[in-house]
């Protein structure tokens, strides 16, 4: 092949040549969807739950968890921007039977979809039931089924552009409100700072140990769930990288097959490196938003729930946190207004989570299926969307109905609740699978990316460290899960 026929990167986007922050933020798009999808289920529940249980003792761990997720996501987005290929496509060529790795990862993720898309609608049902009937356990399962039907139809009709704009606005609004609430709560800032920078291994307080919800929930199970939920998991990231096809950054959309060679002229290599600013900005802004939300909800949980010995659990996932805003003013009228504002904010946060999750999982299924065998490579997104939504609607609704039935059998009316449903896949898709992801990224980067564009030693080292941490802690939590099921 002659040099003239080798692939050239397109002209750099004008916003990437600018030094203005506002221009850089134009590349925050797919990351907003990731942030909004994880914030509703992750930071609003799990971060405040951590603060309620451990005070500030887990703050440092959440920061490290976020860094490992940044490494995982950026490395994949970086690969796609430079090569135009989704990592799943090249993972089909890992040593061993062709397509084995993406097939295994894809099957595990697809099996996990209904668990997330039943627990999340039930969460939406609890907040809706609380708003409508002042009782989060009144009709959460019925409302969840209604929302599943509504959001399936909405996902079939919406465009990617509408989804991105809606989620970007939602993230910005919620971040502003919760940061104001955090500052106004006047927490112990010294304790919060120490918790953020000084690693400590927490223990359950005595009052938590007495809670029947934690009778069989070991520390490892609880803590690795935090690791899995912050910023999302593999089931989200495969779809996120797939969404970059909408942005056509760098080489994306410019490669017809995996045999084409990227030109290694100095000018083209510099252009390729310059394009990496786009996924870097999107990833960093996304996870900076996630970390700020995490910090806000963890601090509020530590400052307002921990002293009251209250833990978000069962169906009481959001109603206790209303003090995050009502504590801001003593006036009864203002408290009523702030309570309504909190309910509305949390509702839209959870709605945004479920709203984005359906489209995200459609993209995940699409990228997984087309990577398994060449004959499925040209499978259209719309074909996959119909089958994925039908599957998640049926299986997710079945799990909601099962959770509803278990609630009727439980004397406390809780049964199989969103926390217990979500914990099942969190340890696997949120943590354990992330380990092989990091190692596989290193392999394809070294094998299929031109040497001058390959990851530097620092990013490689971060992937190795993150991969080892994900594999070890994910494996440990899954082992604990198996022991719990055998009891």
Q: Name the phi and psi angles at 7, rounded to 5.
A: -70, 135
DSSP per-residue letters across 265-328: -HHHHHHHHHHTHHHHHHHHHHHHHHHHHHHHHHHHIIIIITTTT---BTTBSSGGGGHHHHTT
Dihedral of CA atoms 90, 434, 37, 219 in degrees, nearest 10, equals 170
Cα 15–16–22 angle (5° rounding)? 50
Fold of 3-486: Amino acid/polyamine transporter I (1.20.1740)
Closest CA to 261 of 18, 27, 6: 6
Query: Whole-prediction pTM value?
Result: 0.87
SS3 410: coil
Q: How far apart are CA 132 and CA 110, in angstroms?
A: 33
Q: How far apart are CA 125 and CA 103, in angstroms?
A: 34
Q: Are 9 and 251 in contact (CB under 8 A)?
A: yes
Q: How far apart are CA 267 and CA 275, in angstroms?
A: 13
Q: How far apart are CA 483 and CA 487, in angstroms?
A: 7
- Expressed in percent and rounded to 5, the helix, strand and coil fractions of the chain are 75, 0, 25
Q: What is the chain's pLDDT, residue by residue, as a tens digit (487 residues)?
A: 344 468 889 888 877 777 766 656 666 666 666 666 666 666 678 888 899 899 999 899 888 988 999 999 999 999 999 999 999 999 998 988 888 999 999 999 999 999 999 998 998 898 888 888 888 888 899 999 999 999 888 888 766 566 556 666 666 676 677 777 777 777 888 888 898 888 888 888 888 888 877 877 888 888 888 888 888 889 889 998 988 888 888 898 887 766 778 888 999 999 999 999 889 988 988 888 888 888 888 888 888 888 888 888 777 777 777 776 666 667 777 777 777 777 777 787 778 778 778 888 999 999 999 888 778 888 888 888 889 999 999 999 999 999 999 988 877 667 788 888 888 888 999 899 999 999 999 999 999 999 999 999 999 999 999 999 999 999 999 988 888 777 6
DSSP per-residue letters across 196-228: HHS-------HHHHTSGGGTT--HHHHHHHHHH
Hey, where are the domains in the chain?
A: 3-486
Closest CA to 178 of 25, 274, 352, 294: 294
């Amino acid at each position: 092949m002659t040099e003239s026929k080798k692939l050239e990167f397109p002209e750099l986007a004008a916003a990437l040549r600018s030094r203005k922050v506002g221009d850089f933020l134009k590349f925050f798009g797919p990351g907003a969807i990731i942030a909004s999808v994880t914030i509703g289920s992750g930071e609003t529940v799990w971060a405040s739950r951590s603060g309620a249980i451990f005070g500030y003792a887990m703050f440092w761990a959440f920061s490290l968890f976020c860094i490992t997720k940044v490494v995982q996501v950026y490395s994949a987005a970086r690969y796609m921007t430079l090569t135009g290929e989704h990592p799943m496509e090249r993972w089909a060529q890992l040593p061993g039977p062709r397509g084995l790795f993406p097939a295994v990862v894809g099957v595990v993720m697809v099996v996990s979809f209904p668990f997330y898309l039943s627990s999340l609608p039930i969460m939406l049902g609890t907040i809706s039931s609380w708003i409508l009937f002042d009782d989060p356990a009144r009709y959460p399962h019925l409302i969840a089924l209604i929302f599943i039907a509504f959001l399936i139809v909405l996902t079939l009709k919406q465009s990617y552009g509408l989804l991105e704009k809606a989620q970007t606005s939602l993230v910005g609004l919620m971040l502003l409100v919760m940061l104001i609430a955090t500052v106004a709560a006047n927490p112990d800032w010294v304790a919060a700072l120490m918790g953020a920078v000084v690693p400590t291994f927490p223990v359950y307080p005595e009052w938590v140990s007495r809670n029947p919800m934690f009778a069989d929930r070991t520390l490892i199970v609880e803590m690795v769930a935090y690791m899995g939920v912050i910023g999302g998991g593999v089931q989200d990231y495969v779809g996120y990288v797939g969404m970059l096809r909408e942005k056509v950054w760098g080489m994306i959309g410019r490669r017809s097959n995996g045999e084409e060679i990227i030109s290694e002229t100095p000018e083209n290599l510099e252009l390729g490196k310059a394009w990496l600013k786009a996924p870097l900005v999107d990833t960093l802004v996304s996870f900076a938003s996630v970390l700020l939300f995490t910090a806000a909800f963890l601090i509020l949980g530590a400052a307002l729930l921990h002293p009251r010995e209250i833990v978000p659990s069962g169906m009481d996932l959001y109603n206790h946190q209303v003090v995050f805003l009502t504590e801001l003013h003593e006036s009864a009228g203002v408290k009523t207004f702030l309570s309504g504002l909190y309910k509305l904010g949390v509702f839209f946060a959870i709605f945004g989570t479920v709203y984005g999750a359906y489209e995200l999982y459609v993209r995940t299924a699409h990228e997984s299926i087309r990577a398994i065998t060449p004959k499925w490579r040209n499978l259209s997104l719309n074909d996959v969307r119909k089958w994925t939504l039908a599957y998640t609607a049926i299986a997710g609704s079945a799990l909601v109905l099962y959770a509803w039935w278990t609630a009727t059998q439980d004397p406390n009316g809780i049964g199989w609740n969103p926390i217990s449903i979500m914990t099942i896949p969190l340890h696997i898709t949120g943590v354990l699978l992330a380990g092989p992801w990091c190692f596989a990224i290193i392999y394809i980067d070294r094998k299929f990316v031109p040497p001058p564009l390959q990851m530097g030693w620092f990013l490689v080292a971060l992937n190795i460290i993150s991969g080892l941490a994900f594999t070890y802690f994910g494996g440990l939590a899954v082992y604990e899960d198996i022991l719990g099921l055998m009891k």
